[in-house]
Amino acid sequence: MNATTPGQALPPKKDRREVARETARIQREEQKKREARNRWFLRGGIGLALVAVAAIVAVLIVGSVKPPSPGPLNMASDGILMQGDGTTIGAVPTEATAADAEPVPTDVSELTSTVNIAVYLDYLCPYCGQFETTNGDQLSSWLTAGNITLETHPISILDQSSSGSKYSTRSANAAACVANYQPDTFLDVNSALFANQPTEGTTGLTNAELVSLVEEAGVTDESVATCITDQEFGDWVGDASARALDNPLPNTDIGPLTGTPTVLVQGVKYEGDLGDAAAFETFVMEQATATTDTSGTETGE
């Protein structure tokens, strides 16, 4: 005997096959509707996922494109100009370069009573260290006496040689911090950075060690330590380095920077032995004489 649901009549035997077919058809239609809904949700999910991925990529791209950074005080030329008054050495003050502004080259036409020396250097560059070791005291002596002006341009071209620590950028940033907050100590800090110069291929000094170094060199402004730790002018260092590498050097007939140190005397590049103080002194005297002759001033002839 067949069981039936109470209240529901069992179809006649001849109609059961039709009922089964109709039931199967209805089930197939429902299955098709479910599959269509699933495909719609799937496409919608993929679309939403693609939108999300696109949004993430856009954020990453925007985040990776950094806007230009403002420069430090007293480095409007992308370098700091030092001069002496016969007894002391001090920095020539300048306003900070705005983030969207070009640097302002030093007006050498106003520096007619001194020999103007400019040095482009990287604090990891061993040849820069050699030049400083050989000529640093001599430059300080000339500066103090008021015989020269010295414009120092710290740049970073050797970050790849510091085992991922970007020492070139960090040390140049430290120099920029000093220029911004306590500029008259810049030359002492410059000398200290070379006296403690790390070897290429090492990580170099940590930020904490750079802070200690500048403090031992005479920096007392606490803002310098924060500036070094936060790498306040790190982006500016990159911008200034790119400008030196991409554009002719100001106040010269020379093209873009090709290496460090690049030492310019009256706009003329020194090509002599970096480790020969006498050769460099001779070159400085020659350029001073050449400038005097060109100006039409009496030279004793």
Q: How far apart are CA 122 and CA 170, in angstroms?
A: 11
Check residue 35 and give its pLDDT. Answer: 76
Share of the chain above pLDDT 70, in %: 78
Q: Which of 39, 65, 91 is the last residue of a domain?
A: 65
Burial class (CB in 10 A: 0-12, 13-18, 19+), 292: middle
Residues 103 and 175 reside in one and the same domain: yes
Residues 222 and 127 reside in one and the same domain: yes
Can you read off the two tokens belonging to residue 10?
A: 């069992």
Residue 60 binned pLDDT confidence (cut-offs 50, 70, 90) = very low
> Is residue 57's pLDDT more than 60?
no
> Is residue 150's pLDDT more than 60?
yes
Residues 217 and 248 reside in one and the same domain: yes
Residues 139 and 97 reside in one and the same domain: yes
Q: Return mean pLDDT, the chain.
A: 87
- Mean pLDDT for 177-183 is 98
Residue 157 belongs to a domain: yes
What is the span of the domain harbouring residue 45? 24-65
Check residue 238 and give its pLDDT. Answer: 97
Number of domains in the chain: 2
Residues 59 and 100 reside in one and the same domain: no
Residues 93 and 191 reside in one and the same domain: yes
Q: In sequence order, which residues have a C-beta less than 8 Å from that of residue 149 and are 6 or more positions away? A: 81, 82, 83, 92, 111, 114, 115, 116, 117, 143
| Run of H or E including 46 | helix 13-64
Check residue 34 and give its pLDDT. Answer: 76
Residues 122 and 185 reside in one and the same domain: yes
Q: What is the CATH number of the domain that holds 176?
A: 3.40.30.10
Q: How far apart are CA 254 and CA 247, in angstroms?
A: 9
**Are 272 and 286 within 8 A, CB to CB?**
no
Of 66-70, 86-90, 240-244, 256-260, least confident by mean pLDDT is 66-70
Residues 265 and 164 reside in one and the same domain: yes
Residue of 44 and 73 predicted with greater confidence:
73
Residues 57 and 122 reside in one and the same domain: no
Interval 5-27: pLDDT, tens: 445 555 555 565 666 677 667 77
Check residue 63 and give its pLDDT. Answer: 46
